[in-house]
């Protein structure tokens, strides 16, 4: 992408009202724009990051055997009356009347709708287990939307729903999602900490939250820091033992939210690993059994011909929230430090010789070569000062930056800058593509 042909409205000013780094930086980097309280437009750079995260989440869901569908944003209130959640859900549920005075809601989650889909088609244990997921916009009418995407109202979520014949089989479905979440977050550059959680309005008996530690977290968690050192994310979805071992590995270390914290257990951790920190929740999974299948009549026949309710679970990842969470984990005083897996562009080209024909030619040439090697690259071809170009490229957080100036070009060289550690090295022009292909 040529910077001049995109739409990247960066700004030096910190926006008023934005209190945490991710909110400030998303606006300053021209990635999002607030439209109403807690409702945002995604400008080109922000949209690319959102899509990159979405792709990783999708790939890992599919790898775990989940099948993608798409449910609509608006749901009939009838489903929620059937499950018993319509009255109780409170004011966070956006309730809507259509022109015929039918009651709709903007879905805050989809347990009811997926149960209704399941019961419409699936009648036999032979079609189990099944896990269906979708990635769709949802709405929660927060009383005080704040912190940008972290507590917005219209937000993008991946939610998966598992259906099993019994609790034993449901455990495997739960392990699959649990371990796939750890892999997903790892690919996003995040070391997530799983914490046993209350199941809240979703319900059920087994539940984990996945959180990352940042300065701006909303809740406090206590944890054994060895959980962050686990390096072995290897397991086999088709083998129960492998899944269970992996699950146990990730859940063996102590972790707890402060309301459930046990100082006794905490003190048993060797002191150097005792840790607490502020946490941002990025995922939440639930095994809730018959909570929806019983009242909503989602029954299947087992192999004895008995008609029994299906055993369910649900598994959420906050896709739009992750954009903010990643920034909270990765930024400095100059801007964002995107992990390369989600960066809007992997490489940025800064042309310092805006009136220098050779600079232009070499920049264009490198740009085309990177593109033909399937590297996602932005070329800052604007008529702006060097200072502005450096600052903007750092602000939007491009991991690798090629700096092309007339003086370097005289000796057939350019600079390659690593945004993360701020190192700059001088490289022969003939080697720059090879060097980048090695790094990416």
CB 359 within 8 A of CB 421: no
Sign (positive or negative) of CA dihedral 392, 35, 47, 60: positive
Q: Which is nearer to a copy of itself, 72 or 201 (CB)?
A: 72
Dig out the tokens for 364 from the structure.
Answer: 């264009």
* 108, HSE (Cβ side, Cα atoms, 13 Å): 18
Distance CA 214, CA 208 (A): 19
Among 39-47, 224-232, 288-296, 412-420, the segment contacting a copy of itself (CB under 8 A): 39-47
Stretch binding a copy of itself (CB under 8 A), from 36-44, 176-184, 339-347, 368-376: 36-44
Asked if 241 is part of the footprint of a copy of itself (rule: CB under 8 A), the reply reads no
Indicate the residue among 47 and 390 with the shorter CB distance to a copy of itself: 47
Smallest gap, in angstroms, from Cβ of residue 364 to a copy of itself?
Answer: 14
Positions in 62-101 near a copy of itself (CB under 8 A): 65, 67-76, 91-92, 94, 96, 98-99
Interface residue with a copy of itself, options 41, 252, 262, 412 (CB under 8 A): 41
> Which range of residues in 44-52, 194-202, 249-257, 307-315 is near a copy of itself by CB under 8 A?
44-52
**Other CB atoms within 10 Å distance of the CB of residue 116:** 21
Of 160, 138, 142, the C-alpha closest to 151 is 142
8 A C-beta contact, residue 348 and residue 401? yes
Looking at residues 154 to 213 of the shown chain, list those that interact with a copy of itself (rule: CB under 8 A). 154
What does DSSP say about strands 335-336 and 307-309: parallel, antiparallel, or unpaired?
unpaired
Taking CB under 8 A as the criterion, the residue among 20, 26, 43, 327 binding a copy of itself is: 43
Round to whole Å and give the CA distance between 308 and 297. 9
Shortest separation between residue 106's beta carbon and a copy of itself, angstroms: 8
355 binds a copy of itself (CB under 8 A): no
The smaller minimum CB distance to a copy of itself, of residues 2 and 425, is found at: 2
Q: Is the dihedral angle over the CA atoms 178, 181, 182, 183 positive or is it negative?
A: positive
- HEC per residue, 9-47: CCCCCCCCCCCCHHHHHHHHCCCEEEEECCEEEECHHHH
Give 99 or 438: the residue with its C-beta nearer to a copy of itself. 99
Give the one residue of 19, 33, 361, 388 binding a copy of itself; rule: CB under 8 A: 33
- Minimum CB distance to a copy of itself, residue 162 (Å): 12
**Which C-beta is closer to a copy of itself: that of 96 or that of 308?**
96
- Contact by Cβ (8 Å): 416, 434: no
Q: Is there binding between residue 106 and a copy of itself (CB under 8 A)?
A: yes
At residue 396, the 3 state secondary structure works out as coil
Contact with a copy of itself (CB under 8 A) among 15, 47, 245, 277: 47
What is the pairing mode between strands 130-139 and 67-68? parallel
Q: Are 253 and 227 in contact (CB under 8 A)?
A: yes
**Spatial CA neighbour of 94 closest among 153, 37, 19:** 153
Give the binding range for a copy of itself (CB under 8 A) out of 6-14, 242-250, 254-262, 348-356. Answer: 6-14
Q: Which range in 80-88, 109-117, 215-223, 401-409 contacts a copy of itself by CB under 8 A?
A: 109-117
Nearest-approach distance from CB 392 to a copy of itself, in angstroms = 14
50 contacts a copy of itself (rule: CB under 8 A)? yes
Contact pattern from residue 142 through residue 161 relative to a copy of itself, giving x for each residue in contact according to CB under 8 A and a dash for the rest: -x---------xx-------
**Least distance between a copy of itself and beta carbon 56 (Å):** 16
Distance (Å, rounded) from C-alpha 27 to C-alpha 390? 18
102 lines the binding site for a copy of itself (CB under 8 A)? yes
What's the angle, vertex CA 371, arms to CA 365 and CA 375, rounded to 5? 125
Residue 417 exposed, middle or buried by CB count within 10 Å (0-12, 13-18, 19+) = buried
Report the nearest approach of a copy of itself to the CB of residue 42 (Å): 4
Question: Quick one: 96 or 427, whose CB is closer to a copy of itself?
Answer: 96
Question: From the list 42, 80, 210, 247, which residue makes contact with a copy of itself (rule: CB under 8 A)?
Answer: 42
Residues 60/183, Cβ–Cβ less than 8 Å = yes
User: Computed from CA positions of residues 288, 294, 295, 300, in that sequence, does the dihedral angle turn out positive or negative?
Assistant: positive
Q: Which stretch binds a copy of itself (CB under 8 A): 21-29, 34-42, 171-179, 288-296?
A: 34-42
Q: Residue 410 burial by CB count (10 A; 0-12/13-18/19+): exposed, middle or buried?
A: exposed
> Binding residues for a copy of itself, per CB under 8 A?
5-7, 9, 30, 33, 35-37, 39-44, 47, 50, 65, 67-76, 91-92, 94, 96, 98-99, 102, 104, 106, 113, 116-117, 120-122, 127, 130, 132, 137, 139, 141, 143, 153-154
């Amino acid at each position: 992408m040529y910077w001049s042909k995109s739409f990247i409205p960066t700004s030096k000013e910190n926006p008023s009202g934005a209190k945490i780094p991710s909110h400030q930086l998303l606006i300053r980097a021209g990635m999002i724009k607030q439209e109403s309280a807690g409702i945002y437009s995604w400008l080109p750079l922000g949209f690319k990051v959102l899509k990159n995260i979405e792709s990783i989440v999708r790939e890992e869901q599919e790898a775990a055997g989940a099948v993608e569908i798409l449910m609509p944003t608006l749901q009939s209130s009838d489903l929620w009356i059937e499950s018993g959640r319509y009255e109780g859900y409170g004011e966070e549920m956006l309730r809507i009347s259509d022109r015929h005075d039918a009651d709709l809601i903007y879905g805050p989650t989809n347990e009811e709708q997926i149960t209704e889909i399941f019961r419409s088609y699936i009648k036999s244990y032979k079609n189990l287990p099944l896990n269906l997921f979708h990635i769709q916009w949802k709405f929660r009418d927060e009383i005080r939307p704040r912190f940008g995407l972290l507590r917005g109202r219209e937000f993008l979520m991946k939610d998966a729903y598992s259906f099993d014949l019994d609790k034993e089989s449901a455990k495997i479905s739960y392990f699959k999602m649990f371990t796939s979440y750890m892999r997903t977050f790892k690919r996003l550059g995040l070391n997530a900490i799983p914490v046993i959680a209350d199941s809240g309005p979703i319900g059920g008996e087994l539940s984990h939250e996945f959180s990352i530690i940042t300065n701006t977290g909303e809740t406090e968690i206590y944890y054994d820091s060895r959980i962050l050192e686990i390096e072995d994310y290897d397991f086999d979805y088709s083998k129960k033992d492998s899944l269970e071992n992996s699950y146990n590995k990730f859940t063996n270390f102590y972790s707890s939210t402060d309301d459930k914290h046990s100082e006794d257990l905490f003190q048993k951790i060797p002191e150097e690993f005792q840790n607490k920190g502020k946490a941002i929740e990025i995922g939440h999974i639930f095994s809730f059994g018959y909570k929806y299948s019983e009242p909503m009549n989602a029954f299947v026949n087992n192999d004895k011909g008995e008609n029994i309710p299906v055993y369910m679970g649900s598994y959420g990842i906050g896709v739009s929230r992750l954009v903010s969470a990643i920034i909270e984990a990765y930024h400095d005083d100059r801007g964002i430090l995107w992990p390369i897996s989600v960066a809007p562009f992997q490489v940025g080209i800064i042309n310092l010789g805006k009136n220098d024909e050779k600079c232009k030619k070499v920049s264009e040439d490198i740009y085309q070569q990177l593109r033909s090697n399937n590297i996602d690259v932005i070329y800052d071809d604007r008529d702006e000062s060097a200072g502005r170009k450096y600052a903007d490229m750092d602000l939007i957080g491009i991991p690798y930056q090629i700096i092309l100036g007339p003086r370097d070009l005289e000796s057939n060289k350019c600079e390659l800058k690593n945004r993360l550690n701020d190192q700059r090295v001088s490289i022969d022009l003939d080697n720059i593509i090879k060097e980048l292909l090695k790094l990416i």
